[in-house]
Structure 1
Amino acid sequence: MRKIQFIGVFSLIFLLIGHSVLAAETKKVEFFGVGATVTELANQEFKVETTGEKEGEGFVHTPSAPTSINVKYKVALKGEGKVYLKIEETDARGTFLNEVKSEEIQLTDEWKEYELEAKIASLQSQLDVFVLTSSKQETTFFFKNVEVLNE
Structure 2
Amino acid sequence: MSRFKFLTSLFLILCSQATWAADTTPSTPPPPSELKQARALIEKKDWAGAADVLGSFTRSNPSNADGFNLLGYSLRHLKRYDDALAAYKKALTLDPKHRGAHEYIGEAYIELGQLDKAKQHLDALDKICTFSCEEYRDLKKAYEMASKAKNN
TM surpasses 0.5: no
Compare the two structures and name the one with the higher helix fraction.
2
By relative contact order (CA 8 Å, sep 6+), the higher-ranking structure is 1
**TM-score range with shorter-chain normalisation?**
under 0.3
Compare the two structures and name the one with the higher strand fraction.
1
TM-score of the superposition, structure 1-length normalised?
A: 0.26
Bigger CA radius of gyration:
1
